[in-house]
Structures are given as structure tokens and as C-alpha cells.
Structure 1
Amino acid sequence: MKLHQQFLLLHSRFGGAESALTTLDELAKLLDCTPRNAANIVRSMSRNGWIAWESTRGRGRRSTLSFLAQAEDIAAQAMLQAINRKDVARAIGQIKIHRNSSTLQEHLQGRLLSYFGHHVETSNDRQIDTLRIPIRQPLHTVDPLYMNLLAESFVASHVFDGLVRRSDTGDDIKPGIAHAWDTDDSRRRWTFYLRKEVLFHHGKVLSADDVVYTFERLVRSPRRTLYSFIYKQIKTVRALNPTVVRFELEEPNELFLPFLCTSRAAIVPKDLNQLGSYRFGTEPVGTGPFKVTQMNETVCMMEAFGPCFQGRAHLDRVEIVHVPWAAEAMTGDGHRTGAAEGGSGSAPDQSSPFHVIPNASAGNSGWSRIHSETTVRKFVTCNTQKAGPLTDPALREHLFGCLEKVEESEGDSAEAAASGTRTSSENAELPPSPSEQAPVLLRIATILPYKADAEALADALGRYGYDCEVSAVSPEEFKGEIRLESDLILFSLLRDQDEELRLYDSYRTMAEHVDAHTRIDIERLLSLVLREPNSEDRLQSLNKIESLLIRERNLHILSEKPLPTAYVPTVRGVTFNSQGWVNLRTLWFPPATAGE
């Protein structure tokens, strides 16, 4: 491996020329070694057929170094060696090293992509089906209490189970670890009846004590996490016997049962303290169809858990790999299709290694494609609790009018580009500013993944006299004071099977930074949601909140895009979890037959 890097260093130093004049002393300095070691390195490269070395004797005389191998081939060899050793981190490092050469980086990315997809190997006369999936988000923890990212929730949904689960269509709630449940007339007391002999991955039988521990851990946590407004209303949770658990809520809450379907409410063993919460995040123990055998910042390896009470998964092993070129969409043909990259976008063929791509980009005609009906909505809200320009309704009207003008202009430009005509808004009059004082200073807060969106928003508003400063922080920091210290907040909403929970949580947060009159209206409608047993009526109240926020110019929706999942026809059993990710529990690949 080191010899490969030394060759690439020499090749880069001499600008990729076919030959160059140099000395062993110069090579030793470049390779950070002695002249004697430099001579040994030259001999090794010559034996491999990578270079030719014509030595010229005499003081001050220079020898001729000729490159016989291509840098792309040597880099690819180093990468393949790393992949064969399952050292994916080093393979990815190869790409990082050569990021200054777009051609070489493209070549290495294509080689790395061949590692992914469906692979079959035979061990002890047993066929092992492995699926390797690239993801753009790093995995820090899959502990249900501490996870923040969708990718972490995706892994957790296959490692853990909840008391109940959503059906594949999301229309109703099905048994999970609990095979039945009931509630009293007050809708505050919920009783769950657990399946018998449900096993954790470490062999322990799940009992009601594990369920009690799981929810007491949530309630005691000082963390402000997604859906905390639900579990903080749990007054008591008790084990009536080893297979019966009873919850007592502070008040009726019709979102309690949907909450129990989420990864946040996944059941963990009460003895996880023996590992420690931090270690448990990377060495989790659940009851799900896959158990984690290795997890670090680069890769998460999971193996099928045979005794799973819901049945064994068809796949034997899943490897989820963090691939760090986050702005690019994987297509399986080695090309990049992100809007900013300008890749060729040619469609992959049926031999592509990418059988499954969670959240793939649209526009790849070579893929068969189905939609999970999950969308991502990006929006901006105003903080009118902060003393500043946005407390003026007229200025908010002007600001959102500017955003609408920008969107109209971009729509016209796209249509005009397609038709070759002049846009109708090129000479349109700008909206008049309500203030004579210019510029208006605004601070925009967002999380790091949306920094580019926030900067685009700042640029758009800058055309109309707004001077914007962007603050992008981690999801954990975003839960703090930064939102209330900002004027505009850019965030997103995943509209999936948990839409009611997400909308409620989002509007509850927005109520913290709007004027008192609007906050009272929001809280009144949210209170109705918690007491309404009919899902359609709950959504109607949530939609009223959206209309109110838009009407008061506190909310502006920037975009809403679907999250499709691409797959080739050889994949069978494709279903989706509540967040629109492929459900690995049901996925399978038909075995190849002779003659195919």
C-alpha cells in the first residue's frame, strides 16, 4: 500500500509527465527517506513495471525517471487492496487524497461503488447474501435516546422493535412486542400485553421490566429530543406482571399510540447500564431482525438475528457505509448527478452494483423506481419574539413578497431556458421596501446540512436590500438558544407516516417564537389535536395552524420534494418503513440460476 502512495506522490510531483530528469537525493527528499531507501523504492517500482529508471553516473548528472503505469490504475489497485481487506475507511481516504484531481477522483469513486450492492459468497456450503449500502450521513449513535439523524433512525429501526408498529401502508397500527393493548374511558390509562419469549440479541428474554426501564429512561432524561412532548406526559409506567405494562398519562393524548411506533420509543434492555449509554450507542442490543456486529464512524455491519420474533430477515448481512462526498447522489455508474456537479447523468445498466439506493436522486431512467410518498419540506419561519425588524408585519410582508418574487423569477427562468424565450420577470419591478432605512440586518439560523440553503436564502434577500448573516450549527446546538437569538429560522419537515407527530412537534416549537396572539391560537389548536381520536380531524386542526402561520407571514415554504427509492428489477419484497426508507426486514434477491 505504501509503495502505491509513493508512486502517486512521484507522479504528482512531476506533473504527470511521461519522463523527468531527477536524482536519488531529490527523490529521497520528496519521499522523506534516505537516498539508499529511495534507491530501494525505485528498484521495487521498476520490478512492478510501474517506472523505468535510467541511471547516469557522475557528479551533478541527472537520471531519467519514466512513468510506465497510469496514476489511475495504481490508485485503483491501492483502493481495491483496501476494499479486499474490508478497510473501507482507507479506500475512502484514497478519494480524499486525490480530491484535487477531478478525473482521478471520478475514477476512484467508480471503483469504490463496485463494492456496494448485492453480493453473494459461499461459506461452509452456505450461501451468504450481503447488501452493502452507502449513506451520506455519518452514524454517531443508534441509541434511541440520543440519535439525531435519519440515517441513525434507519439503522435503529432494524435493530430495535417497539411495542407497536405501523402497517406497511401506514394506515393503521399493528402489534409489535405487544400483541394487544387497550385503554380506559379517560384515554389516560393504556395497558399493553407483551408477547412471550421475545429475545434480545444478547440472549436475554424481554420482560415488562425492560419496557418500564425504557420509558423511565426517556422521562428522566433532561434532553430536549424529538417527541419529548409525548413521553414527558407519562405520569407512571408499571409492570403489572412479566408480560403486562400499564402507562398512566398526565392527560389524554391521542398521539401517544402513534409515538410508540417511532424509533424513539424502541425498547432497550434494562441492563444496558452495564455497557454504559455511550458504548450502547455503537454496541446496541435490541430485539430486531438485525444485530450490530461492528459500528464506527465509517461502517455499520449488521447480521440477521435468527430468533427474531417477527421472523428471520432474508438477507444474511448488511453493511452500511458512510461515503463522505455528501453533495453527490450515487447512481451506480460512477457518475455524479447533483445539480452543482454537472455529471454526465448517463443511466446505469442492469449490472449496476446499486440494487437499492435510499433517498436516491430522480432522473435516472435506468432504474425501476417506486415512491414511498415521503416528502421533505424546507421552510423558513420568523422569530417575532426577538426585538427586531421582523416584529413589523409590513416588513414581514415585504420579505416574503421578495421570496415569492425570487421563486417566480426562477420558475420563469427554468421555463424560458427550456423554450429559449425571454423571461417575463426579467424587467419586472421589484417590490417596494416598507422601510427607508437600508440595509435591514437579519440573522438566519439553521443546521449544518442546510447551510447551503440558508446561504442561497441570504443571497436572494440580498437582492432586495436585506443584509443577512448565516449561523449553521449541529442539530444538538440548534435545540438551544440560537433559534431565539435569530430573526429567520430555516429548517425542514419530513412528511411521512409520522406526519402528525412531526407537525405537532414543529408547530409546538414555532409557537415559542411568534407573538402572543398567534401563540394562543396555535396552542388552542394543538390542544384539540391531542384530544381528537379521529386522525383526519387531527390533520384538519394541524392544517389550520399552517394556514394561520402563512397568513400571519410567520411561515414560508421554500420547497417540497419527494424522497424516491430506486431499485433494479432483481430486488423483491420492497416495502418502506414509516420514514420512507427501504425496509431491510422484507428485502430479498432471487438466486441466479444456471444459464443466466
Structure 2
Amino acid sequence: MKLQQQFLLLHSRFGSADPVSTTLDEIAKLLDCTPRNAANIVRSMSRNGWIAWESSRGRGRRSTLSFLAQAEDIAAQAMLQAINRKDVARAIGQIKIHRHSAALQEHLQGRLLSYFGHHAETSKDRQIDTLRIPIRQPLHTIDPLYMNLLAESFVASHVFDGLVRRSDSGDDIKPGIAHAWDTDESRTMWTFYLRKEVLFHHGKVLNSDDVVYTFERLIRSPRRTLYSFIYKQIKSVRALNPTVVRFELEEPNELFLPFLCTSRAAIVPKDLNQLGSYRFGTEPVGTGPFKVAQMNEAVCVMEAFGPCFQGRAHLDRVEIVHVPWAAEAMTGEAGGAGEGDVAADRVSPFHVIPNAASGSSGWSRIHSETTVRKFVTCNTQKAGPLTEPALREHLFESLVGTGGGAGDPGEAEKAEKALASAQLPPAVSGQVPVRLRIATILPYRDDAETLAGELGRFGYDCEVSAVSPEEFKGAIRLESDLILFSLLRDQDEELRLYDLYRTMAEHVDAHTRIDIEQLLSRTLREPRPEIRLRSLNKIESLLIRERHLHILSEKPLPTAYLPTVRGVTFNSQGWVNLRTLWFPPVMAGE
């Protein structure tokens, strides 16, 4: 590996189709070694057939160096050696080193891409199916209490199970760990009946005490997490016997059951504290179809859990690898994925999964119905220019047609008119510039900078503050004028909208806040999903009408390209469900 790196350093310094003149002293300086070591390195490269070296003896005389091997081949060789040792992090490092050469980087990325996808081995007349998936987000934790990223939720959804789950279509709620449930007339008392003999990955049988521990852990946590408005309304959770659990809510909440379908409500073992809370994030124990065999910032390896109560997964092993560059750079695909507690759209959630055996001819094209909505909101609780309705009107008019093409085809023409005629309203026309602070999460820094640039054309001087998803939950939103974020519109849309509007109510004027809170209260008490969604849509219309909300864009999650594969379904967030995937066995003679 070191010799290959030394060759690439020489090639980057002297690379040419023609022989070059140099000395061992110059090579030693470049490689940061002694002239004696430089001579040994040159001899090794010559024996490998990588270079030709014509030595000239005598003080001050120069030798001739000719390159016989291509840099791309040597770099790819080093990468393949790293891949064969399962050292994908080092292989990715090869690409980072050669970012200066677009052609070399593209060549190396193509080699690395062959590592991903479906790989089958035969052992003792049995096919072992491994699926390797690249993701852009690093995985920090998949503890349901602490995870922040959608990629972490994706992994958690295969390691853990909830009391109930969404159907594949998302229209119904199906049994999970609980095989049945009921509620009283007040709809504040919910009783769940657990399956018997459900096993955790470490061999312990799940019982009602584990369910009680899971939700008491959520309730006690001081963390402000997604959907905390649901579990903070749990008045009590009790184990009536080993297979029966009863929840008492402070008030009727029709989003309680949908919440139990999310990864946040996944059941963890009561002995988690003995396992170690911090360690649990990378060495989790659940009841799902896959158990984590290895997890660090570079890779997460999951293996099929045979005793899973839902049935064994068809795949034997899944390797999820952190690939830090944008997916479009590696695959040619533009588009997004999930980051943050709500959403982001940087990288495809399943990326491109090539079939290493058959190449692109075997690919099929599928997609989920999930979309990502990107938006900006105004904080009128902060004393400043946005408390003036006329200025908000002007600001949002300035943004018509920006943000990636939300709206109908006439938006572009409308935008041109707005750009030509827009002027600061009279109330602030004497103030130049109008200073605004835009808050967002780190993955959206570029979007916020673009937004600041657009507004700069109309007299707004914008400062961008981009922070981590965890920091974004804090005071920064109420300290800013504009907030740029996104919403994943998936099967959990009701929960996400409710959580979003509860948050937005904190930074709108008092009159609008009262209207929002009344509609949210009505939503919680409405048993019919279509009526709940109608109330949530009224809040959206109200926020747009009062110029508190401007939708920048709404795009479907990028299409996923997969090899010919069976059992393709999507989870609630639009990610491919690994539980059901399978690959036809390779037949003898094929």
C-alpha cells in the first residue's frame, strides 16, 4: 500500500508521457525519506514494472525516470486491496487523496461502486446473500431515544420493532409486537396484548416490563425530540401481566397510535442500563429481523436474526457504508436523502445499488411516493423588521419562483414580474439595508446562502447561521429572523405536520398562534384521518396567508435504481424495506 502511495506521489510530481530528469536526492525529498531509502523504493517500483530508471553515476549528474504504469491503475490497485481487506474507509480515503484529478477520482469511484450491491457466495450448498449499501450520512447512534438522522432511523427500523406498524401501503396500522389492542370510550386508556416468546437479539424474552421501561425512558428524558408532544402526554404506562400493557393518556390523542409505528417508539430491553446506555447506540439489542454485528462511523454490519417473530429476513447480511461525497458525484444521480429529524434531500435514501455480477442490464427502476418540501418561515416573536406585515409580503414576493421550482408552470413568469417591479414597502423604504439572520441546519447551508443571495438583490442583508440538528432544536430559531428547513411528506406526514406547526406556533404573532393551537387541538381529537389532514391543511393556508410560511420547493425523493430484485417495498419514510428484499439463487450452469 505504501509503495503504491509513493508511486502516486512521484506521478503527481513528474507524471508525463516523456522521460523526466531527476536525482535520488530530489525523490528522497519528495517522499520524505533518505536517499538510500529512495534508491530502494525506485528499485522496487522498477521490479514491479511501474517505472524505468536509468541511473547516471557521478556527482551532480541526473538520472532518467520513465513511468510505465498508469496512475489510475495503481490507485485502483491500492483501493481494491483495501476493499479485499474490508477496509472501505481506506478505500474511500484513496478517492479523497486524488480529488485534484477529476478523471482519476471518477475512475476510483467507479471501482469502489463495484463493491456495493448484491453479492452471493455459496457455502455448504447454501447461498449467502450480502447487500452492501452506500449512504452519505455517518451513523452516530441508532438508539431510538438519541437518533437524529433519517439514516439512523432507517437502520433502527430493521433492528427494532414497535408495538404496531404501518402496512406497506401506509393506509392501515397492523400488529407488531402487540398482536391486538383496544381503547375505552374516552380514548385515553389504551391496552396492548403482546405476542408470546418474542426474543431480543441477546436471547431474552420480551415482556410487558420492557415496554414499560421503553416509554418511561422516553417520558423521563429531558431531550426535545421529534414527537415528544405525544409521549409527554402519557400519564402512566403499566404492566398488567407479562403480556398486557396499559397506557393512560392525559387527554384523547388520535395521533398516539400512529406514533407507536415510528422508530422513536421502538421497544428496547429493560436491561439496557446493564448493557450501557452510550454503548447501546452502537451495540443495540432489538427484536427486529437484523442484529448489529459491527458499527462505527465508517460501516454498520447487520446480520439476519433467525428467531425474529415476523419471520427471518431473506438477506443474510447487510453492510451499510458511509461514503462522504455526494451521491451524484459517485453515481451520476442528482438528488436527495434524509438528514435531520424532519428531512433533507441531499442523497438518495437507497442510492444506486449495482448488480456486480450482471451490470446495468439487470437494473430496474422504482420509487416511493415520498416527497421533500423545503420551506422558509418568519420569526415574528423576535423584535425586528419581520414584525411588519408589508415587509414580509415584499420578502416572500421576492422569493417567488426560487428554491427549485415549487408551484405551477406559471411561477417562473410570475417571478420575472416580481423581480422587475419589487420595491421595499413604504414602511421600511428608508432603511437600507434590512438586516436579517437566517437559521438552518448544516446540510442546508448552501440553500440558505442561495436564499441570502436572492434576498440581497432586494435590499436585504442576510447572515446565515447553520448548526447541527441537535443545536437547531435550541434557542437559535428564536434568535433568528428566517428559518429554512424541510418536511418529509411520507406515511408519517400527520405526525410531522403536527410537530412542525407546534414548533412554528412558538415564533408567530399571538393571534395566529391561538388559531394554530385551536386547529391542532381539534386534530388530536379527530378519529378520522381525512378530517385531521383537513385541519392541518387549514394551518398551512393560514400561515401562507399571514406570510409566516413560504414553500420554496417540493420534490419527490429521487428514483432508486436497483438490480433485478424481488420483494421490493418501502417503509413509512420512503426507504427500501430490507426485511422483504430477496435475490433469486444463481442456478447451476447459468
Secondary structure, counterpart of 1:429 in structure 2:
helix
Gaps of 5+ in 2: 337-350
| Corresponding letter in the other structure for 1:429 | A
Secondary structure in 2 matching 1:482: helix
Asked if the contact 2:404/2:552 (under 8 Å) is kept, the reply is no
CA distance in 2, matches of 1:254, 1:409: 35
| CA drift at 1:328 | 2.5
Is the contact between residue 193 and residue 243 of structure 1 (CA under 8 Å) also seen in structure 2?
yes
Identify the match of residue 381 of structure 2 among 371, 379, 385.
385
Q: Distance in 2 between matches of 1:350 and 1:300?
A: 17
Matches within 5 A, 1:451-530: 451-530=445-524
Determine the C-alpha separation between the residues in 2 that align with 1:350 and 1:148.
Answer: 25
Q: 1:520 to 1:412 in 2, by over 3 A?
A: closer
Aligned residues of 1:374 and 1:494 also touching (Cα < 8 A): yes
Pair 1:402 & 2:417 matched? no
| 2:423 paired residue among 427, 432, 437 | 432
Does the C-alpha gap of structure 1 residues 401 and 242 become closer, same or farther in structure 2, counting only changes over 3 Å? same
The alignment of Structure 1 onto Structure 2 pairs a total of residues equal to: 573
**C-alpha RMSD over aligned residues:** 2.6
Query: Are residues 190 and 104 of structure 1, via their aligned partners in 2, closer, same or farther at CA, if it must alter by over 3 Å?
Result: same
Q: Establish whether residue 584 from structure 1 lines up as the match of residue 578 from structure 2.
A: yes
Write the distance in 2 (CA, Å) between the matches of 1:377 and 1:518.
Answer: 22
Matched, 1:75 2:72: no
Listed as ranges, the matches of 1:42-61 within 5 Å are 42-61=42-61
Instruction: Establish whether residue 372 from structure 1 lines up as the match of residue 368 from structure 2.
Output: yes
Summarize the Cα distance change of 1:349–1:233 in structure 2 as closer, same or farther, 3 Å threshold.
Answer: closer
Q: Is 1:560–2:561 an aligned residue pair?
A: no
Contact 1:413 1:423 in 2 (8 A): no
Aligned partners of 2:83 and 2:17: how far apart in 1?
29
Distance in 2 (CA, whole Å) between partners of 1:245 and 1:528 is 27
**Within 1, Cα distance between the matches of 2:547 and 2:361?**
40
**Distance verdict in 2 for CA 1:469–1:351, change over 3 Å:** closer
1:419-478, Cα deviation, whole Å (9 max, x unpaired): xxx999389622121122111111000001111111111111111111111111000000
Q: Deviations over 1:324-373 (max 9, x none)?
A: 10363653xxx46569xxxxxxxx999754999xxxxxxx9995323321
Shift, 1:28, TM fit: 1.4
Does 2:66 align with 1:66? yes
The reply to whether residue 205 of structure 1 matches residue 205 of structure 2 is yes
Identify the residue that residue 33 of structure 1 maps to in structure 2.
Answer: 33
The answer to whether the aligner puts 1:543 opposite 2:537 as a matched pair is: yes
Is the CA contact 2:210–2:270 (under 8 Å) kept in the aligned structure 1? yes
Task: Return closer, same or farther for 1:410/1:524 CA change in 2, 3 Å cut-off.
Answer: closer
Give the C-alpha shift of residue 496 in structure 1: 0.5
Structure 1 residue 125: Cα displacement: 3.4
Shift in Å at residue 483 of structure 1? 0.2
Partner of 1:275: 275
The 1:412–1:431 alpha-carbon spacing in structure 2 relative to 1, beyond 3 Å, is farther
Equivalent runs, 1:92-107 vs 2, <5 Å: 92-107=92-107
1:423 & 1:514 partners in 2: Cα distance?
A: 27
Give 1:344's aligned residue.
none
Q: Tell me which residue corresponds to 1:5.
A: 5
Q: CA deviation at 1:88?
A: 0.3
Cα distance in 1, alignment partners of residues 30 and 301 from structure 2: 39
User: How far did residue 203 of structure 1 move?
Assistant: 0.5
Once the 2 structures are TM-superposed, how far is the Cα of residue 275 of structure 1 from its aligned partner? 2.3
* Amino acid corresponding to residue 496 of structure 1 in structure 2: D
Match of 1:121 in 2: 121
TM-score (norm 2): 0.93
Q: Give the gaps of 5 or more residues in structure 1.
A: 340-347, 357-363, 417-421
Q: 1:330 to 1:580 in 2, by over 3 A?
A: farther
Give the whole-Å Cα distance in 1 for the aligned partners of 2:78 and 2:9: 13
* Alpha carbons of structure 1 residues 355 and 262: separation in structure 2 relative to 1, 3 Å: farther
2:380, 2:268 → 1: CA distance? 41
1:172 corresponds to 2:172: yes
- Cα distance, 1:158–1:16 mapped onto 2, change above 3 Å: farther
Which residue number in structure 2 is paired with residue 345 of structure 1?
A: none
2:15 and 2:67 in contact (8 A); partners too: no
Distance 2:379 2:250 in 1: 30
Relative to structure 1, the CA distance from residue 367 to residue 560 in structure 2 (aligned partners, 3 Å threshold; closer, same or farther) is farther
Task: Report what 1:360 is aligned to.
Answer: none
2:460 counterpart letter in structure 1: Y
What SS class does the counterpart of residue 286 from structure 2 fall into? Answer: coil
Alignment of structure 1 residues 142-161 onto 2, 5 Å: 142-161=142-161
Q: Hey, what does 2:439 align to over in structure 1?
A: 445
Asked whether the 8 Å contact 2:400–2:411 carries over to 1, the reply is no
For 2:176 and 2:213, the matched residues in 1 are separated by 18
Query: Counterpart amino acid of 1:431?
Result: A
SS at match of 1:5: helix
Q: Does 1:185 align with 2:179?
A: no
The answer to whether the Cα contact below 8 Å between 1:117 and 1:353 also exists between their aligned partners in 2 is yes
Question: How many percent of aligned residue pairs carry the same amino acid?
Answer: 85
> 1:212–1:245: 8 Å Cα contact kept in structure 2?
yes
SS of residue matched to 1:559: strand
1:279–1:408: structure 2 CA closer, same or farther, 3 Å change rule? closer
Say whether the 8 Å CA contact 2:379–2:386 is kept in structure 1: yes
* Contact preservation (8 Å) 1:355, 1:571: no
SS at match of 1:252: coil
Specify whether residues 414 and 316 from structure 1 end up closer, same or farther in structure 2 by C-alpha distance, changes over 3 A only. farther
- Partner in structure 1 of residue 527 of structure 2: 533
Cα 1:424–1:313 shift into 2, 3 Å: closer
2: distance between equivalents of 1:406 and 1:159?
A: 40
Residue 248 of structure 1 corresponds to which residue in structure 2?
A: 248
C-alpha displacement of 1:193? 0.5
More displaced 10-residue stretch of structure 1: 243-252 or 72-81: 243-252
- Residues 324 and 373 (structure 1), Cα distance of their counterparts in 2 relative to 1, 3 Å cut: same
**Shift of residue 175, structure 1, vs aligned partner:** 0.3
Q: Against the structure 1 CA distance between its residues 349 and 86, is the aligned structure 2 distance closer, same or farther, given a 3 Å change threshold?
A: closer
